[in-house]
Amino acid sequence: MSNSFAALPPAFYTRLSPQGLNAPRLLHANEDAAALIGLAPEVLYTQAFLDVFSGRAPLPGGDTLAAVYSGHQFGIWAGQLGDGRAHLLGEVDGPSGPWELQLKGAGMTPYSRMGDGRAVLRSSVREYLASEAMHGLRIPTTRALALVASDDPVMRETVETAAIVTRMSPSFVRFGSFEHWAARRQPEMVQTLADYIIDHFYPECRGPRPGEKDAPHAPLVRLLDAVTARTARLMADWQCVGFCHGVMNTDNMSILGLTLDYGPYGFMDGFRLDHVCNHSDTEGRYAWNRQPSVALWNLYRLAGSLNSVVQDADALKAVLDGYEGIFTRAFHDGMAAKLGLEAWRAEDEGLLDDLLKLMHEQRADFTLAFRRLSSAVRGASQPFLDMFIDREAARAWLQRLLQRHEAVPRDAALRAGAMDKVNPLYVLRNHLAELAIRAASQGDAAVIDDLLRVLRDPYTERPEYARYAGLPPDWASDLEVSCSS
Ligand code: AMP
Ligand code: MG
C-alpha cells in the first residue's frame, strides 16, 4: 500500500470512516479486476472481503478519505463539490501498478451537500457493468471490483435499496480537482496537485524533450498537452461505439483520460446525431454529437486553472488548438476500421457523413448497422439493409462503400474479419442493464454474470447469448435514465 494521494497536504481531503451497509451481501465480484491488484479469486468470497467492501471494516494498510474538488455542472460554475458519497480506501500496489480503491455509496462526507451519501442498487449495477463493458471495448475507463447490496432503504423518487460499488482507478483526480484551487486563488495548491499527477502518472512531462528548451512552468503545459491528447482520443472512442456519457461536467472528467462516473450514460440503440441519454439534460448539452466539443470546453476550464500557475495563456491555448486535429485523426482512424478501410482518405468524409445521416433519418440501430457491414462484405447485404426503412437508400450507400473497398483490393473474408474485430455485437444497451437490475433486486446476479461474459469480449458472436445481441424490446422504449442515482 502506498496511499500516495493521502500524502498530499491535508487540505486536499478529509480523513473519515465509511458508514457500512447493514446485512450486506456480495452480489458480484470481478475476478479480472481483482487480478490487477493481486487478489486471488477465492479471497473475493471471504467474510473479510465483504466487510471491507461493504464499508464495515477498514482496508488493512489503507488510509480512508474523501477528496475535495469543484467543477462546472452543465456549463455553470458549481463551486465546491467533492466526494459526496465516495470513500477512497487507499492505494494498492498490484502487479499492474498502483490502483486506488474507492467505495461509492458508503455514507455521508463533508462534501455531501444535500445528498445522503448513498447509491441505489440500480445505479450501482449500471456502473459496475458499464465500466467492464467499456474495458471490453478497449476504451480507457475506471474499473469495478465488487458490488455489494443491502436492504437498507434509500429515498429517491421512490424508496429503493442501497448498494456499494467499489471502483478502481490509478487516480480519481478530475479537472475539477484543479479548478477547485484556481477558483480559491491558491495557485500553489494547483502546482502541488500538478506535481503529484505528473510525478505519478505523466513522468514524461517532467523534463524537457530532446531539443526543447525548458521554461519554468513547461511541465504543466506538457501536462495539459498529454491530458488533451488522451481526452481527444477518448472522445473518438466514445463516438465510435455510440456511447453517450450523459453528465460531462468538469468534475466527471478524469485527469488520466479515463471514462469516469457512470450515471445516466447510454449506448445508443436507434441512432440520432443529437441523441441525449440523460433525461435531466433538457438542453441537450451532452448530446452525442456535442461530446467532442464539450470535452474541449472542459479542457479550457482545466487550462484556465493551470494558467493560475503557468501565467502564459498563449502557450496553453496553443496546446488546446491541437485538440481538434487529434480528435479528428482518431475518429477517422476508428471509423475507417469500422467501415473496413485500410486508411482514411479525405474523400471518405462524405461517405461517413452520408451513412450517419441515413442512420439518423431512419433511426438505424448504431451497433447493428455497423456490425452488419461485414456481412455485406461477405456477400450478404440483406442483414445491413434490414436496419433501414428506406432500403433503396441504404443499398445505394452500401454500393458506394463496396466500390470504395475496391480501391484497395483485399480478401473479403479477411476484411470482414477485421471489421468484426472493431464493430462490437454486444453493447450495454439500457434494456440489458435493466434486465440485470431487475434480477439483482431479487438477489440474482446471474444476468450480471451472463452480460459480463459477452461484454468482456463483445466482438465474438456467441449463439447462446443471441438474446443480448438484438434490438431493444418494446418495453424498453419507456426506460428513462436521469441524474437520480
Ligand atoms: P455526479 O453528477 O453524480 O458526478 O455528482 C455530482 C456531485 O454530487 C458529486 O460531488 C457527488 O459526490 C455528489 N453526489 C451525488 N449523489 C450524491 C449523494 N447521494 N449523496 C451525496 N453526494 C452526492
Ligand atoms: Mg461525479
pLDDT digits (tens, 9 = 90+) for 243-252: 999 999 999 9
Question: Tens digit of pLDDT for each residue in 159-198?
Answer: 999 999 999 999 999 999 999 999 999 999 999 999 999 9
At 7, the pLDDT band (50, 70, 90 cuts) reads very high
Q: Which of 176, 119, 116, 186 is nearest to 148 (CA)?
A: 119
Q: How far is the CA of 132 from the centre of ligand 2 (A)?
A: 18
470 has pLDDT over 80: yes
Whether 214 shows a pLDDT value over 90: the answer reads no
Q: How confident is the model at residue 208 (pLDDT cuts 50, 70, 90)?
A: confident
pLDDT (tens digit per residue) in 54-65: 999 999 999 999
pLDDT of residue 226: 98
Of 87-96, 173-182, 294-303, the one with minimum mean pLDDT is 87-96
- DSSP strand E in 6-96: where? 13-15, 25-29, 65-67, 70-73, 76-80, 86-94
pLDDT band for position 216 (cuts 50, 70, 90): confident
| Closest residue by Cα to residue 470 from 269, 243, 242, 264 | 269
pLDDT confidence bin for 277, thresholds 50/70/90: very high
Using the Cα atoms of residue 430, residue 432, residue 438 and residue 443 in order, give the sign of their dihedral.
Answer: negative
How many angstroms separate the CA atoms of 16 and 125, rounded? Answer: 26
> How much of the chain exceeds pLDDT 90, in percent?
96
Q: In the numeric block, which cell numbers belong to residue 5?
A: 494521494
Mean pLDDT, residues 61-80: 98
Q: What pLDDT, on a 0 to 100 scale, did the predictor assign at position 119?
A: 98
Structural element, H or E, at residue 61: none
Q: Tens of pLDDT along 316-342?
A: 999 999 999 999 999 999 999 999 999
Strands (E), 232-363: 243-244, 266-267
Q: Residue 17: pLDDT above 90?
A: yes
- 115 CB less than 6 Å from ligand 1? yes
pLDDT band at 46 (very low <50, low <70, confident <90, very high): very high
Place of cell 479471497: 43
If you measure from the C-alpha of residue 125 to the centroid of ligand 1, how many angstroms do you get, rounded to a whole number? 17
Give dist(CA 337, CA 420) in Å, integer: 10
Active site annotation includes 116: no
Residue 356 Cα to ligand 2 middle (Å): 31
Please list all protein residues whose beta carbon sits less than 5 angstroms from ligand 2, which is an ion.
252, 261
Q: How confident is the model at residue 478 (pLDDT cuts 50, 70, 90)?
A: confident
Q: Calculate what percentage of the chain has a pLDDT beyond 70.
A: 100
Contact 249, 74 (CB under 8 A): yes
CA distances in angstroms from 406 to 264, 340, 341, 386, listed in the order given: 42, 11, 10, 24
User: What's the mean pLDDT when you consider all of the chain?
Assistant: 97
Q: pLDDT confidence of 419, banded at 50, 70, 90?
A: very high
Question: Quick check: 293 and 248 in contact, CB under 8 A?
Answer: no
Is there an atom of ligand 1 within 6 Å of 118 CB? yes
What pLDDT shows up at residue 211?
Answer: 80
Tell me how far apart the alpha carbons of residues 116 and 54 are, in angstroms, rounded to a whole number: 16
**For ligand 1, is residue 116 a contact (CB within 6 Å)?**
yes
pLDDT value of residue 207 = 85
Catalytic hit among 251, 269, 281, 420: 251
Q: What is residue 477's predicted lDDT score, i.e. its pLDDT? A: 84
Task: Kindly state the average pLDDT of the residues 71-82.
Answer: 98
Cβ atoms of residues 152 and 161 within 8 Å = yes
Task: State the pLDDT at residue 462.
Answer: 98
Counting from 1 in the atom list of ligand 1, the atom nearest the Cα of 73 is: 2
Residue 473: what pLDDT? 94
87 in contact with ligand 1, CB cutoff 6 A: no
| Ligand minimally distant from the alpha carbon of residue 115 | 1
Residue 209 banded pLDDT, cuts 50, 70, 90: confident
The answer to whether the beta carbons of residues 179 and 72 sit under 8 Å apart is yes
- Sign, Cα dihedral of 155, 156, 161, 166: negative
| Ligand nearest to C-alpha 85 | 1
- Cell reading at 56: 464495515
pLDDT band at 212 (very low <50, low <70, confident <90, very high): confident
Those residues with Cβ within 8 angstroms of residue 185's Cβ, 6 or more apart along the chain or in another chain? 308
Do residues 171 and 256 make contact, with C-beta atoms less than 8 angstroms apart?
yes
Question: What SS3 class is residue 127?
Answer: helix
**Average pLDDT for 398-423:** 98
pLDDT of residue 262: 98
The DSSP call for residue 63 is -
* C-alpha 280 – ligand 2 centre gap (Å): 15
Reading the block at residue 461, the C-alpha cell is 458472436
Query: Strand 97-104 to strand 86-94: parallel, antiparallel, or no bridges (unpaired)?
Result: antiparallel
Lowest mean pLDDT among 262-271, 304-313, 420-429, 471-480: 471-480
pLDDT tens-digit readout, 364-376: 999 999 999 999 9
Question: In the chain, what are the domain boundaries?
Answer: 4-169, 175-332, 342-485
Residues 415-439: what's their mean pLDDT? 98
Give the nearest ligand 1 atom to 82 CA: 10
Coil, strand or helix: which one is 14?
strand
In degrees rounded to 5, what are phi and psi of residue 289?
-75, 0
Judge contact between 455 and 424, C-beta under 8 A: no
What pTM does this model have? 0.98
84 lines ligand 1 (CB under 6 A): yes
